[in-house]
Structure 1
Amino acid sequence: MPNHASRRTLLTVAAVAAATAAGAASATVGPARGPGGPAPDDARPGDRAPGRSTARHSSGAAPREAMERMGLAELVGQLFVSRVYGHSATEPDSEDAALNERAFGVRTPAELVARYHLGGIVYFGWAHNTRSPRQIAELSAGLQRAATAPANGVAGIPLLLSIDQEHGAVARVGRPATLLPGAMALGSLALGTGGSTAEARRAARLAGAELAAMGIRHNYAPVADVNVDPANPVIGVRSFGADPHAVAALVAAQIRGYQGAGVAATAKHFPGHGDTGTDSHVGLPLMTHTRARWEELDEPPFRAAVEAGVDVVMTAHIVFPALDPSGDPATLSRPIVTGILRERLGFRGVVVTDALDMAGVRQKYGDDRVPVLALKAGCDQLLNPPDLGLAVRSVLAAVESGELTRARIEESVLRILELKARRGLFDAPERDADTARAMDTVDAVVGIPAHLAAAGEIADRTTTLLANPVGLLPLDPADRPLLLVTGTDPASPTGTTGPPTSVLARELSALGCRATALPPARAVAAAPGNAAVLVCTYNVPEGESPQRELVTGLLATGVPVVLVAIRNPYDPARLPRCAAELATYTWTDVELRAAARVLTGTVRPVGRLPVPVPGRYPLGHGLAYG
């Protein structure tokens, strides 16, 4: 019998947030602080996180005093968070040095920090910043030495180093670091039997501990968008789900987890990106919700984030006429950033733009105007402008012309410096610049057996059994069943895991089955004689597609077909019904190994759908064995 979650069950998830906030010592993994790292703050969220307060740094030089020593160029530099090319602060590869020269007029990351007095650097895999945890830690230490060197102006302010490490579909740091289930998988767990938000907090605490060990004190997570559009091209499984109250509880839990590990969390993408049909990386989405619909659906997770004391909120490059009829994207909208986020929700922390090189924010205004307009709207940090030099000059010119006041710049800089203070960056800057110490911390914290085991335990409770009409599952490894695994093999987000079909086949074989992975072109011919065929699907489109053709061909062989939706749980509605159907929400190794354990009954399926699958399964649907 299906085990459906009622509306009351879904709302119970929100109530669990209070218990989660009270103290989930059992939900934390690994050290609460790395060697020499900042003390955890999740036990005292009101003392250390901004929320609606105006907390000040309690040790060392006060942020205000540091700000008052800065000249205008240094103040403006603190507003910017830029990409940089290379694995080393001072010795990048020649190709990366050439990219830095072309983009910034300098050859090394250290020179870029010194030239612009930058407030932060964001790490990307494509910029060659994230080769390995030890390399990242060394890069972080080198960048901090550059930022705090006496030669870098009179301020010597530490950098806030940041990354997109949501886990699941978006991750920059791969193995040997610990990789965890993503947001929608955690949403499935929270709705499952015995589920709560504690595991989401546990995952964030673990992830935060590893980021802090690598010198990264700011993560662009969690996603606070409520995904109600199955065709959403940019959010999807990055969201915790479709129920705003459940999403709100999970967002609050992850904020407490990250910030308890000494890493600033970011609720994104304000005012909500979960019901858009355009990817803001390539276009300008239009949100058609009414104000009442926004208050019901999109607002609750952001309100919960503010109440949980989130350090940072990221804006969305979307047009939202019900909130601002001007046609400006939210990032540039004073009614949205100041009027709603600051005044209605009472947020007093740092507002960061989504990346300013994205098409969504560049369609209406030029690259020289966007940074200025973002500051006028109420944003504090300007993330990754396409032309850093132009952006800096534009802000300086706006101050000199009077369009922006020095007081307005100082307002944002003070928030940024207070954030750095809360995250311990002023406590012992020489510690953060110590490469040897950084290596020791990485070895003690990142990818350790306890963290890897915890990731597997969490993943075991996320797989959702959607259909099992003839009782095909669980497969009995004692029978040594012959299995064929095929389907789509997307590249992993970090490039360090997969391919999915091979990982699934290896894990099934390790559990006692006889499993072989084959490409789709060979699968139909090879299917006869197998006890079952497992087909991995990935973002199946509406209508005819190669994936639909593959499933149809496999069903025609008469061999039982098990559909494993390895990203979007919406795939089953776009395919013929199979002998069994599962959703994993992520195609990384940790989720696929967990799926193998569910398929063989090594662990029992407990996950529930955090989104409805139109025409097939309701919100909260999930089956159990026996």
Structure 2
Amino acid sequence: MKTRSAYHRFRRPHALALPLAGILAIGLASPATAAPQVNADAQATAAARQMLRGMSLPEKVGQLFVTWVNGKSADEVNPQNRIDFGVDTPAQVVQRYHLGGVIYFNNDSHDNFDDPVQVAKLSNGVQRAAVSSGAHIPLQVGTDQEGGTVTRMGSPATEFPNAMAISAGRSTDRATAAATILGHELRAVGINQDYAPDADVNSNPANPVIGVRSFSGRPDLASQYVAAEVKGFQNSGRPTDTVSSTAKHFPGHGDAATDSHTGLPRIDRTEQQWRDIDVPPFKAAIKAGIDSIMSAHIQFPSLDPSGEPATLSKPILTGKLRDELGYQGVVITDSLMMDGVRERHSDAEIPVLALKAGVDQLLMPAHLDVAIDSVLNAVRSGELTERRIDESVLRVLKLKFKRGIMFSPFVNPAKVASRVGTPEHLATAQDIADRSITAIANDAGVLPLKQKPSTALVTGWGESTGKALAARFTAHGTKATALPTGQTPTADQVAQAAAAAKNVDVVVVLTNNLGGFPLQGNLLKALADTGKPVVAVASQIPYDAGYANPIPTWLATYGYIAPSLEALTKVVLGETKPTGKLPVDIPAGADVHTVKYPFGHGLTW
């Protein structure tokens, strides 16, 4: 009864709920039929305008902000909330600031995940807080669920490989299937906004932050997979079963050599190179009807010589994204806690500059009070007009109507188990991982093994990953020992691994960023010198295989989630054949101008 009464306190769109919900369901459930879709957009816009007219300025400004909350239930008293927001619980954070949205994390700083049922109850709790206070507007509840490296809701939910692994399988249908499952499982626990897919073209092999989160180093392949995932996230059922997707990071983070979490990257492409390389995936996302696009904290002098990061650049966000590409949806910033956007301006200046640039929503300002007050003061002083605020609020409200958030903000925790991590979903994830394993080199013909090995050694990078892989080998009938050595193996660790290798039938050595951590090369040489069959595995970025080393057999997994390790085990033991194709060129080590293994390469046997 609490959920019902909270919903009925959500008053403003109540009179529109039945007719508009029906129109939206017809239009969005059948994206191929243009007329209902146009009608749905018009109805959503009309409803959003009506709601906007009844909102106060603080309520409007609140809709422009998305922040983290501390706790795993809406009523959990968490001391960090007092430090961050001056209140005790997630519900009180929502009520105090009239927020447009919240974002969930699973890290040490902000941990909102235990299990899917708990997440569903948390989502219901923060939604009750939203619809029973302020403007009575439900929240966008977001998270970063790209798959692979960037996964917030893990097992028992379905986990998918990284984007580059999906495109290595060369099936856009499977990309749509992955996004469909991710979106449906997120919506089942009350998350209605996914900050995915990554639309960056990873043209720089040394990119420290994108890498396998990108579908490809080629704009055409990346575009195909971005569009396929947008379809899966947004158009795979009723609006209330799907999520808003977010293409990131505009105008393109793929050529960065600096991590924008810790610095301000500079992209030195020409404007024509930007159009040729970075733009196509964003164009594909816009054509597919993407709900939101995330800005990048990067300098792009050919697009804006001022030196401002793209998040604060009107020439980029309004001139390029709005005016040139014609994007009319929600523009959201990347996290405003990141150093890339805070290098040149104070936390009070950043939100105002972002809104002037063309941003609609401000994600995770470091000091929410400061950020909101700065926007309110800018309107009151005339630096920003209320009309400018209304433009962004209208886009946010329209998105909430179109995605069914206004009419269905709550979920049923009793149904979560039947919708999240189902056998069918898990089988799809394994099928995608099985198709992704790419055989890059097999010069000595080590694979396929002449007979199934009785024993194996798993060594190299990744303590938990190495143990998990050894467990998979053992489960498949090959007794395996894990001896992890990390990214910077010592001489003693190398010697121990080489000694252990002499007592097994096959060695699997995992690498991770061999170019950045070259001491891994000492381990590769010592293992090669044992004379044992050695299979080297690029367990994250595939570029490791391009560095000079004595191992003639290389596989790429593009990540190390459980389905990828299972797929790797089956290939090494000869139970399946590798079928993946490289989505990128692999250069000869640090020589990015010399291609050692070209795009599309992939061996099988």
Tell me if both proteins adopt one fold, taking TM over 0.5 as the criterion.
Answer: yes
Mapped partners of 2:43, 2:499: distance in 1: 67
- Mapped contact 2:467–2:482 kept (Cα < 8 A): yes
Decide which of 518, 523, 528 is 2:483's aligned counterpart. Answer: 518
Q: Which residue does the alignment assign to 2:41?
A: 55
The Cα offsets for residues 168-210 of structure 1, whole Å up to 9 and x where unpaired, read as 11111111111001111012111xxxxx311111100011110
- Mapped contact 1:53–1:348 kept (Cα < 8 A): no
SS in 1 for 2:178: helix
Q: What is the deviation of 1:481? A: 3.2
Identity %: 49
Mapped partners of 2:298, 2:397: distance in 1: 28
Decide which of 443, 466, 469 is 1:504's aligned counterpart. Answer: 469
- Mapped contact 1:40–1:260 kept (Cα < 8 A): no
Q: Which residue does the alignment assign to 2:5?
A: none
Decide which of 434, 437, 458 is 2:432's aligned counterpart. Answer: 458
Q: What is the deviation of 1:230? A: 1.0
Mapped partners of 2:27, 2:561: distance in 1: 29
Matches within 5 A, 1:205-220: 205-220=180-195
Mapped partners of 2:232, 2:36: distance in 1: 12
Pair 1:565-2:538 in alignment: yes
Pair 1:387-2:367 in alignment: yes
Pair 1:145-2:145 in alignment: no
Change (3 A) 1:479 1:84: closer
Question: Which AA in structure 2 matches 1:538?
Answer: N
- Mapped contact 1:87–1:129 kept (Cα < 8 A): yes
Q: What is the deviation of 1:53? A: 10
The unaligned stretches of length 5 or more in structure 2 are 1-23, 237-241, 486-492, 589-595
Matches within 5 A, 1:341-380: 341-380=321-360
| Structure 1 runs of 4+ with >3 Å offset | 37-43, 45-50, 56-59, 478-481
- Mapped contact 2:452–2:574 kept (Cα < 8 A): no
- Mapped contact 2:215–2:583 kept (Cα < 8 A): yes
Change (3 A) 1:103 1:38: farther
Question: Which AA in structure 2 matches 1:439?
Answer: P
- Mapped contact 1:42–1:256 kept (Cα < 8 A): no
Q: Which residue does the alignment assign to 1:596?
A: 569
Question: Which AA in structure 1 matches 2:346?
Answer: G
Question: Which AA in structure 2 matches 1:330?
Answer: A
Mapped partners of 1:474, 1:181: distance in 2: 24
Q: What is the deviation of 1:525? A: 1.1
The Cα offsets for residues 403-441 of structure 1, whole Å up to 9 and x where unpaired, read as 111111111001001111111111234xx1xxxx52123
Decide which of 118, 122, 130 is 2:99's aligned counterpart. Answer: 118
Q: Which residue does the alignment assign to 1:528?
A: 502
Q: CA RMSD in A?
A: 2.0
Matches within 5 A, 1:77-226: 77-92=62-77, 97-126=78-107, 127-149=110-132, 152-153=133-134, 155-190=135-170, 196-226=171-201
Matches within 5 A, 1:424-439: 424-429=404-409, 432=410, 438-439=412-413
Q: Which residue does the alignment assign to 2:445?
A: 471
> Which one has more relative contact order, counting CA pairs under 8 Å at least 6 apart?
1
- Mapped contact 1:543–1:574 kept (Cα < 8 A): no
Question: Which AA in structure 2 matches 1:321?
Answer: P
Q: Which residue does the alignment assign to 2:9?
A: none
Mapped partners of 1:39, 1:424: distance in 2: 12
Decide which of 74, 97, 113 is 2:59's aligned counterpart. Answer: 74
The Cα offsets for residues 271-322 of structure 1, whole Å up to 9 and x where unpaired, read as 0000011110010000000001001100111111101110000000001010
Mapped partners of 2:580, 2:51: distance in 1: 49
- Mapped contact 1:46–1:309 kept (Cα < 8 A): no
- Mapped contact 2:295–2:331 kept (Cα < 8 A): yes
The unaligned stretches of length 5 or more in structure 1 are 1-36, 191-195, 491-498
Mapped partners of 1:462, 1:42: distance in 2: 31
Change (3 A) 1:162 1:119: same
Mapped partners of 2:299, 2:282: distance in 1: 18
Mapped partners of 2:94, 2:467: distance in 1: 43
Question: Which AA in structure 2 matches 1:113?
Answer: V
Change (3 A) 1:528 1:334: same
- Mapped contact 1:243–1:611 kept (Cα < 8 A): yes
Q: Which residue does the alignment assign to 2:547?
A: 574
The Cα offsets for residues 334-353 of structure 1, whole Å up to 9 and x where unpaired, read as 11101110111110100000
Change (3 A) 1:231 1:458: same
Mapped partners of 1:317, 1:121: distance in 2: 21
Question: Which AA in structure 2 matches 1:88?
Answer: S
The Cα offsets for residues 352-376 of structure 1, whole Å up to 9 and x where unpaired, read as 0011111111111111010001001
Pair 1:322-2:287 in alignment: no
Q: What is the deviation of 1:573? A: 2.0
Change (3 A) 1:257 1:40: farther
Question: Which AA in structure 1 matches 2:416?
Answer: V
Pair 1:420-2:405 in alignment: no
SS in 2 for 1:265: strand
Q: What is the deviation of 1:593? A: 0.6
Q: Normalised by the size of structure 2, how large is the TM-score? A: 0.89
Question: Which AA in structure 2 matches 1:125?
Answer: N
Question: Which AA in structure 2 matches 1:141?
Answer: N
Pair 1:446-2:420 in alignment: yes
SS in 2 for 1:275: coil
Mapped partners of 1:593, 1:385: distance in 2: 40
